[in-house]
Amino acid sequence: GENVEQHPSTLSVQEGDSAVIKCTYSDSASNYFPWYKQELGKGPQLIIDIRSNVGEKKDQRIAVTLNKTAKHFSLHITETQPEDSAVYFCAASISGGSYIPTFGRGTSLIVHP
Amino acid sequence: NAGVTQTPKFQVLKTGQSMTLQCAQDMNHEYMSWYRQDPGMGLRLIHYSVGAGITDQGEVPNGYNVSRSTTEDFPLRLLSAAPSQTSVYFCASSIGGMNTEAFFGQGTRLTVV
């Protein structure tokens, strides 16, 4: 089955800095890579996703890049703000397969004011 | 817009007791799944369903049963609770197809003493 590795487990930055979280996956058939944000006491919520036919996608301060050859993808947050503090999960799944994503172990992002 | 509703939010069980965690979604999603979240372990898949009457095991199915008699509901049963099942449980649903975003409930925090 699919295996998703996520690093780092904890990331501490100053407000205004950039943050990068990296994930690798094992199954070359995976073609959908979402990122979820989990705030304290809540369920994860999708913030951005990318499909295998795209190398990069941006949404305001958030961007995701995908390297299918190397089987890794990354989340980039620019101009971080305290409200970005949360746990971030990457995931990989196969559109056309079971659709059930395999998640990384999560990154706790702390943005210091 | 209710989305995915989980009940209860908190539960304390004694070892050996049984209980059912409820999950209901009102988005007519075919795909539903249960995850457990433990510190440093991310989201691990327990069981999932690709439609009414169809269920399958995930990564950590032991000690849990599921059924899917309707599209809306996907309950998770603990037949004989053990301290190792102390965790936060999340139910998720997705429409499948090319759009595989997962929508999560708010979670159930279960403590087995």
* A98 exposure class (CB count in 10 Å sphere: 0-12, 13-18, 19+): middle
Beta carbons of A88 and A37 less than 8 angstroms apart: yes
Q: Averaging pLDDT over each range in A28-37, A88-97, B98-107, which range is the top one?
A: A28-37
Of A32, A41, A100, the CB nearest to B48: A100
Of the candidates A44, A89, A99, which has its C-beta nearest B94's C-beta? A99
3-state SS of chain A is CCCEEEECCEEEEECCCCEEEEEEECCCCCCEEEEEEECCCCCCEEEEEEECCCCEEEECCEEEEEECCCCEEEEEECCCCHHHCEEEEEEEECCCCCCCCEECCCEEEEEEC
A5 token code pair: 């590795």
- Count of H-run helices and E-run strands, chain B: 0, 11
| pLDDT tens per residue, range B33-65 | 999 999 888 899 999 998 999 999 999 999 999
Q: Which residues of A touch B (CB under 8 A)?
A: 1, 6, 9, 32, 34, 36, 41-46, 49, 89, 91, 93, 95, 98-106
The answer to whether B109 and B10 have CB atoms below 8 angstroms apart is yes
pLDDT band at A97 (very low <50, low <70, confident <90, very high): low
Cα end-to-end distance, chain A, whole Å: 41
Q: Do A100 and B101 touch (CB under 8 A)?
A: no
A103: distance to nearest CA of chain B, Å? 6
Question: A58-85, pLDDT tens digit by residue?
Answer: 999 999 999 999 999 999 999 999 999 9
On chain A, the residues whose CB falls within 8 A of the CB of B43 are 44, 89, 103, 106
